[in-house]
Structures are given as C-alpha cells and as structure tokens.
Amino acid sequence: MKSWITWGRLLWALLVGLALATAGSFFRGSAWWLDILTDFKMQYVASAALLFLAALASRRAKEAVLALVLLGINGVALAPHLAPAPSSRTAMKIVGFNLDMFNTAAANTLDFLHRENADVVVVYEVTVAWREALRQLSDIYPHRYYGPLQYLPGNPPQGMGLLSKRAWEETGVEVSDISSRTFAVWARFPAASPSLTVVGVHLSNPVYYPASHQRSEAVALASIVKRFDGPVVVTGDFNMTPFSARYGTLLGKTGLRRADGGLNATWPAMLTPLGLSLDHVLIGKGIRNATMRTGPWLGSDHLPVVGTFDLGG
C-alpha cells in the first residue's frame, strides 16, 4: 500500500505548524501558553531557514516563499537582540549562575569563578554540598549569604546565595505569597563603596508550575526594585525570554533595561547558541556601559551570565 506521507506533504505540514506558532506569538498576551510559544523565536528562525533551504533543494517555489516569509517575520523580532556586547573597560563585574542542584562538577565552577574574579556572584539551586564547595572561594569572597533551603519532593534541599568581595550593609530574601518559595535574594552595599543594590532572582517555571506563580513573583520583584534607592542590578534565572509578553511587562513595571550583548542563550546549556535566553542581567538608573555575555558550560543545565557595568550613568 502506498504511503500517504510524501516529502511535499511533510514539508507543508512543517511549514503550517511553524506558521501557526508564529501567528500565535502575536497574541502572546492573551494566554500564558501562547506566551511560552513566543520564547522559541530563535528556534523559529532556525527552522524557517532550514525549511527554506529544503524547499529550494526540492524546487518547491510556494513552500520556499512561505518559509522566507516566516523567516522574515520571526527574524524581525530577533534582530534587535543580535548585536554583540561592545568592548569596554568597566568598573564592576557580576556573575549569575544557576548551579543546577544535580550538578557535581564543582571544580569547573570554582575555576571559572576564580578566573572571572567578579565583584559579586549570585547563585541559584545551591545545595548543602554546593555551599560547602563554595567555601573554597572564601579568600576571594569573604562575605557569603544564603537564603533558606527549599524542600521539594524528589529534589535535594536547595536555595539561593550571594558571594561578595566587599561587605554589605543589609541582606534579605523575598518569598512568594502564592507558592511560599524564595524567589529572590538581595544585598545593599553602603554608599561609600559606592552605593549599589544587587538582586538575584529565580522565578518560577510556568511550564512546571501554575503560570500565576511567575506572574505574582514578577509583580513582587517590581515592588522590590522600587523599594531601593540608588542603582540596582538584577540578575538570575528569569524563566522567560526577551520575546515574551511577560518579559516586556516585567521591564515596564520595574523600569529596568537589559544589558547589551546579544541574545546570550543559556538553557539548555548543551544546545546553545540555539537554546533559550532565560538568564539575564537587568540594570536600572545610575548604571552605564552595561554589557552581558555567557560563560562556558560547567556541568549545569544553564550557562552562567557575566555582567559588567559602571556606576554613575
């Protein structure tokens, strides 16, 4: 019996699926699952390019035109984020890294942090074993602060933490009113050194948990940022990409902007640069020359992000 599956039909099916996903991104603000689909703009561009080449190779003009249109539509959303980070000599450096509670490659991470020699390091999914490993950096980071451990079924206890070269005047954590999980940790540095507030975030994943959890945490994050006087830097695993409506809403409510440096895909680490840009460095007023880049694969499912900036902008 002759199969109904042919190359032409398969190509059309893939194009129609990509077209529906692309169309859904225009309605991303109306449903959380449509907004999740918008996170995959990079993958849509790559898929459209491959389908365009496949259509050309098989001499299918209509399919090639459709693929080219989809490539253009998705490429427009991608274009503003493609510029690489400008080279600059900046005064301060921050590293944000989701260590991955199941990651056991501590030596690689410690070597990376030694080499980067950042002023502040913010870490997430920090287990008891990771806390012990990070003690080896006490010569560089004598000031360490960890939030409460989170206990989730099937996972080791883990939390968030801050490491710093210089002393802070105040630290704290923020707990979600809905999920009761700690989603942010922060430190305020004294004005004489100079004034700066660093906030580390690990927002809820809207695929694994109710989307309302992430929305609630994002609203709370905006309140946190507005609570602090002076420059604020926020870094972490936001579980949202720059293409999503919830990301745009977050920037609007906080008044923050993303550091320069391109897309910086961070998850899943082994699929970058074609992964998702979930980890960011966001900056507020009083900060200039801010850039961001990703670090190497260190055994985690995320890549670390490295932000550099000057105060006084």
* Per-residue confidence (pLDDT) for residue 89, from 0 to 100: 64
pLDDT at 25 over 80: yes
Report pLDDT digits (tens) over 121-146.
999 999 999 999 999 999 999 999 99
In whole angstroms, give the CA distance from residue 193 to residue 190.
Answer: 6
43-52, 130-139, 304-313 — which is least confidently predicted?
304-313
| Residue in the structure block whose two tokens are 């074993």 | 129
| 310 vs 304, residue with greater confidence | 304
* Per-residue confidence (pLDDT) for residue 79, from 0 to 100: 83
Report pLDDT digits (tens) over 174-213.
999 888 899 999 999 986 566 899 999 999 999 989 999 9
pLDDT at 273 over 90: no
* 113 alpha carbon, distance to own chain's centre: 19
Pair 281, 304: CB distance under 8 Å? no
Pair 263, 276: CB distance under 8 Å? no
pLDDT at 3 over 90: no
pLDDT at 281 over 70: yes
* Per-residue confidence (pLDDT) for residue 1, from 0 to 100: 42
| 90 vs 189, residue with greater confidence | 189
In whole angstroms, give the CA distance from residue 289 to residue 310.
Answer: 6
In whole angstroms, give the CA distance from residue 263 to residue 292.
Answer: 9
pLDDT at 87 over 70: no
- The mean per-residue pLDDT over the stretch 276-300 comes to 94
In whole angstroms, give the CA distance from residue 209 to residue 227.
Answer: 28
Report pLDDT digits (tens) over 234-254.
999 999 999 999 999 999 999
In whole angstroms, give the CA distance from residue 268 to residue 40.
Answer: 13
The percentage of the chain sitting over the pLDDT mark of 90, rounded to a whole number, equals: 76
Rg value, the chain, Cα: 21
* Per-residue confidence (pLDDT) for residue 86, from 0 to 100: 64
2-16, 70-84, 169-183 — which is least confidently predicted?
2-16
Q: What is the rounded average pLDDT for all residues in the chain?
A: 91
Taking phi first (over 0 means left), then psi (-120 to 50 degrees means alpha), and beta for anything else, what does residue 204 get?
Answer: beta
Domains detected in the chain: 7-81 (no CATH), 92-311 (3.60.10.10)
